């Protein structure tokens, strides 16, 4: 055992691979193929808005083989493949598939963590199946079969097995679609030798450049580098984490962001000027306020982001002295931030996000002086009552006048990426 940069040099993790990473292949497109038999085996693109300029959010493997992928415009996709089936997103369908998928996985362990709508990580250390003598590969093949039976015959998944989450995820991407691979002490070097830096989950173009500037050009170089060198390249502890990851040690089993923020964002079908955003801000604020109310929390911070059609992305955070509890509170805080801080003359907005943070339990409030002789309810109670009405009669059954005319501007959507 050696010491490096004040940390104990652990070498390569030699323990058994008991982490499994599973993701559904081309999730949204595959679920649409499951729902429509006649689309199976054919190119399918799922879009937020079915217009020539709409962006493909998910492409079936048949479409991917033709070069159509995330980000391809509908007109481009139709130019490549005039017969491609285009459909708009149907989030309730994908949530159902996620639930069915989870039901299968929870039969194997309670330690199931959803990474996104179509990705799960299982820690099978305490799994009954493993203890009864099944190998990780056998469990992986069994899960594939059960996903086929339980979620649908058009649905397949990639399975990756490793001693940590990073290697399990890397393994799941080695043979897409419908692969099953294991990366461990025995084949780690061999796998690394076949990959490029950007093939590693978490290595983006910026990190790739940084590594190359630091003299690391291949994954094998990366794995052979010592922790001190990586600390230098990444500028601190992040380099040490990479050193551990590449050796199979667990560093990603943490909920960095769990419960730290509540927010929503919408891509706008019709681009709007910043001063036209109020109805959308209100809609987002109402969703956030409902989630705060369910959790019994108030927020003390707000962050707003605007993506412009022709200007750089803008975002700004602000601490708020009073508690944000109701829709009105969140709306006013977001509105004020845009009003006072957003760049002037930046043009049309294509995406708006509102996020709250700095949570506290809702404290008893000092009520306002009742000069009108009318009964006063506290803001938390008003928010709760509005939420109950909307729960019972459907989303936006009760809306403030500011939201009139917003139907169809901001629909249901599913977040990409981590669910934590």
Partner 1 sequence: MSLTINERIAVIAVFGDKNAPLTPVQLRWNKKQYKLGKVDFYHTTRDGHHTVHHFSLTNDEQSMYMKLAFNSHSLVWTLEETEACE
Asked if 75 touches partner 1 (CB under 8 A), the answer is no
User: Residues 7, 93, 146, 150: which binds partner 1 (CB under 8 A)?
Assistant: 93
Asked if 133 touches partner 1 (CB under 8 A), the answer is no
Pairing of strands 85-88, 44-47: parallel
CB 268 within 8 A of CB 305: no
Contacts of 288 (CB under 8 A, 6+ apart): 262, 263, 264, 299, 327, 330, 354, 356
Asked if 404 touches partner 1 (CB under 8 A), the answer is no
CA pair distance 37, 44, nearest whole angstrom = 12
CB 55 within 8 A of CB 48: yes
How many Cβ atoms from other residues are within 10 Å of residue 17's Cβ?
A: 23
Name the DSSP class of 34.
H
CA pair distance 257, 160, nearest whole angstrom = 24
Q: Which stretch binds partner 1 (CB under 8 A): 16-24, 36-44, 166-174, 276-284?
A: 36-44
**CB 47, min distance to partner 1, A:** 12
Residues 338-377 as x/- pattern, contact with partner 1 by CB under 8 A: ----------------------------------------
Asked if 95 touches partner 1 (CB under 8 A), the answer is yes
Asked if 407 touches partner 1 (CB under 8 A), the answer is no
**CB 326, min distance to partner 1, A:** 21
CA pair distance 276, 299, nearest whole angstrom = 25
Asked if 149 touches partner 1 (CB under 8 A), the answer is no
CB 163 within 8 A of CB 248: yes
User: Residues 70, 81, 86, 272: which binds partner 1 (CB under 8 A)?
Assistant: 86
Asked if 205 touches partner 1 (CB under 8 A), the answer is no
User: Residues 4, 69, 87, 406: which binds partner 1 (CB under 8 A)?
Assistant: 87
**CB 140, min distance to partner 1, A:** 25
CA pair distance 127, 137, nearest whole angstrom = 14
Asked if 271 touches partner 1 (CB under 8 A), the answer is no
Asked if 394 touches partner 1 (CB under 8 A), the answer is yes
Q: Which stretch binds partner 1 (CB under 8 A): 13-21, 83-91, 168-176, 310-318?
A: 83-91
Asked if 291 touches partner 1 (CB under 8 A), the answer is no
- C-alpha pair distances (Å), 224 with each of 149, 212, 285, 360: 43, 14, 49, 46
User: Residues 1, 2, 3, 38: which binds partner 1 (CB under 8 A)?
Assistant: 38
User: Residues 206, 254, 319, 392: which binds partner 1 (CB under 8 A)?
Assistant: 392
Asked if 397 touches partner 1 (CB under 8 A), the answer is yes
**CB 35, min distance to partner 1, A:** 4
Number of helices (H) and strands (E) in the chain: give both, helices first. Answer: 15, 14
Asked if 413 touches partner 1 (CB under 8 A), the answer is no
**CB 42, min distance to partner 1, A:** 10
User: Residues 4, 12, 36, 218: which binds partner 1 (CB under 8 A)?
Assistant: 36
CA pair distance 235, 221, nearest whole angstrom = 18
CA pair distance 350, 307, nearest whole angstrom = 6
Contacts of 283 (CB under 8 A, 6+ apart): 266, 396, 403, 406, 409, 410
**CB 251, min distance to partner 1, A:** 37
Residue 63 vs 182, nearer CB to partner 1 = 63
How many Cβ atoms from other residues are within 10 Å of residue 352's Cβ?
A: 24
Residue 393 vs 416, nearer CB to partner 1 = 393
C-alpha 17: how far from chain center: 26
CA-CA-CA-CA torsion sign (383, 389, 391, 397): negative
Asked if 393 touches partner 1 (CB under 8 A), the answer is yes
**CB 39, min distance to partner 1, A:** 8
Chain positions contacting partner 1, by CB under 8 A:
31, 34-38, 85-87, 92-93, 95-96, 152, 391-394, 397
């Amino acid at each position: 055992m050696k010491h490096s940069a004040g940390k104990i040099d652990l070498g390569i993790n030699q323990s058994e691979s008991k982490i499994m990473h599973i993701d559904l292949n081309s999730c949204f497109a595959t679920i649409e193929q499951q729902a429509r038999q006649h689309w199976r085996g054919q190119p399918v693109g799922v879009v937020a808005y079915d217009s020539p300029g709409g962006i493909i959010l998910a492409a079936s493997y048949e479409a991917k083989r033709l070069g159509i992928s995330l980000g391809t415009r509908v007109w481009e996709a139709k130019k490549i493949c005039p017969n491609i089936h285009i459909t708009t997103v149907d989030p309730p369908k994908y949530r159902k598939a996620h639930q069915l998928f989870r039901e299968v996985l929870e039969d194997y362990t309670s330690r199931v963590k959803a990474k996104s709508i179509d990705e799960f990580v299982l820690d099978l250390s305490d799994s009954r199946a493993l203890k009864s003598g099944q190998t990780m590969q056998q469990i992986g093949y069994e899960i594939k079969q059960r996903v086929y039976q339980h979620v649908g015959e058009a649905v397949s998944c990639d399975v990756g097995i490793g001693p940590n989450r990073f290697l399990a995820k890397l393994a799941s991407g080695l043979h897409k679609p419908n692969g099953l691979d294991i990366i461990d002490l025995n084949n780690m070097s061999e796998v690394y030798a076949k990959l490029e830096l950007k093939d590693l989950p978490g290595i983006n173009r910026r990190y790739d450049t940084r590594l190359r500037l630091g003299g690391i050009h291949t994954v094998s170089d990366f794995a052979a580098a010592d922790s001190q060198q990586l600390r230098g390249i990444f500028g601190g502890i992040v380099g040490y984490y990479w050193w551990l990851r590449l050796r199979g040690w667990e560093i990603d089993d943490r909920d960095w962001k769990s419960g730290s923020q509540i927010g929503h964002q919408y891509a706008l079908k019709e681009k709007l000027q910043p001063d036209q955003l109020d109805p959308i801000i209100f809609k987002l604020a109402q969703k956030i306020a409902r989630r705060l109310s369910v959790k019994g929390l108030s927020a003390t911070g707000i962050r707003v982001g605007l993506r412009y059609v022709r200007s750089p992305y803008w975002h700004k955070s602000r601490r708020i002295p009073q508690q944000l509890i109701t829709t009105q509170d969140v709306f006013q805080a977001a509105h004020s931030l845009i009003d006072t801080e957003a760049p002037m003359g930046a043009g049309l907005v294509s995406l708006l996000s509102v996020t709250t943070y700095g949570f506290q339990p809702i404290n008893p409030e000092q009520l306002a002086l009742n000069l009108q002789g009318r009964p006063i309810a506290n803001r938390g109670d008003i928010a709760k009552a509005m939420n109950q009405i909307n729960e019972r009669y459907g989303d936006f059954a009760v809306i403030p006048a500011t939201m009139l005319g917003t139907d169809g501007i901001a629909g249901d959507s599913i977040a990409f990426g981590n669910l934590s």
